[in-house]
Amino acid sequence: MTALLVLAGVGLLYAGGEVLVRSAVRLARAAGMSALTVGLTVVAFATSAPELATTLVAGFGDAPGTALGNVVGSNIANLGLVLGAMALVRPLRSRRRSLRREVPFMIAAGALLFPLLANGALGRPEGVVLLAALGTYFAVLLVYRPAVPGDGPDGEEAGRAGSPWVALCGVGLGVALLVAGAQMLVEGAVGLARELGVTERVIGLTLVAVGGSLPELAGSVVAAARRQGDLILGNLVGSNVFNASFVLGITALAVPLEVDFAAFRADLLMMLGLSLLVLPFLATGRVLNRVEGLALLAAYAGYVAVLFL
């Protein structure tokens, strides 16, 4: 039964990724926005839905460690596993704007967690700070949008914009399929892990966190196949910003979390370290190549190995 859940989850994830990417590109066309901007906002918010649901459930279930671990682990998986794998499949090109603004903002969002968590609590004041940071991100991203040559949406969907509302409904359908697929896959994977005798701690730090990143992975695989590199980068960078600011901010407002900062210090440093690695990687000709992708994957594999040890 658990194996069937895993297979069904994989199928739903692929279908959801296909629908989401198609709809997001059409939405970009219809709204006159670049694929990068849509990836940083609509798609990033959509694919962060599993993290938000899981974190809120963990918070209300009196499991603050799981709540924070889900977000930090998912951000690590987004950069080490998903971005590394996508660069290994196909080198990813970045526009100068993403180097100048979006990636540094992702780094800042991760660094902000250190002072906010230092007192061992993520309460409502900290939640307000995180949501204010997200508001600043939106203001910079959507209000200040300098023209960048070739920054318009492209690809095979370029000539078929259609209604923005239809595209938005397609994004919603894609998200629903992704969330359902992720839930089924995580449930099946956790069941298999328990059958094999893996501890709950390792399950939470690996399977649940990776499960939260499965929508990003599914969407990125489809985007890579359709040569939508900006959508991949925008999705992953935007998702990490949303996870650190929106997901934790909303959770802190809904149910304040008591966390062991010392226990999470190494994980937070890993998240920040991978974020810092991405900037110079993209700065080398604004391309994340296969060697750099392999380095990200190796870093993630080493991190997971340490967790299991």
Give the pLDDT confidence score for residue 285 in this predicted structure. 63
Give the pLDDT confidence score for residue 154 in this predicted structure. 43
For residue range 4-25, list pLDDT tens digits in order: 876 787 677 667 767 776 787 6
Beta-bridge partners for 92:
288
Residue 142 is which amino acid?
L
Q: What is the pTM of this model?
A: 0.75
- State yes or no: pLDDT of 112 exceeds 90: yes
Domain architecture of the chain: domains with CATH: 2-308 (1.20.1420.30)
For residue range 223-242, list pLDDT tens digits in order: 666 666 666 777 788 889 98
Beta-bridge partners for 227:
none
Query: How many Cα neighbours within 13 Å face the side chain of 154?
Result: 8
Comparing 151 with 89, which gets the higher pLDDT?
Answer: 89
Q: Could you tell me what percent of the chain has a pLDDT over 90?
A: 18
Give the pLDDT confidence score for residue 149 in this predicted structure. 43
How is residue 192 written in tokens?
A: 């298999």
- State yes or no: pLDDT of 107 exceeds 90: yes
How is residue 226 written in tokens?
A: 């359709």
Give the pLDDT confidence score for residue 114 in this predicted structure. 95
pLDDT grade for 36, boundaries at 50, 70 and 90: low
Q: Could you tell me what percent of the chain has a pLDDT over 70?
A: 69
- State yes or no: pLDDT of 93 exceeds 90: no
Answer for the pair 196, 36: CB distance below 8 angstroms, yes or no. Answer: no
* Cα-only R_g, the chain: 18
pLDDT grade for 158, boundaries at 50, 70 and 90: very low
Comparing 29 with 137, which gets the higher pLDDT?
Answer: 137
- State yes or no: pLDDT of 40 exceeds 70: no
**What's the average model confidence in pLDDT over 169-184?**
78
What gap in Å lies between CA 74 and CA 81, rounded to an integer?
Answer: 10
Query: What integer best gives the mean pLDDT of the chain?
Result: 77
Give the pLDDT confidence score for residue 117 in this predicted structure. 92
Classified as helix, coil or strand, 93 is: strand
**Element spanning 144, H or E:** none
How is residue 123 written in tokens?
A: 């309460």
What gap in Å lies between CA 70 and CA 149, rounded to an integer?
Answer: 38
Give the pLDDT confidence score for residue 248 in this predicted structure. 93
pLDDT grade for 141, boundaries at 50, 70 and 90: confident
pLDDT grade for 301, boundaries at 50, 70 and 90: very high
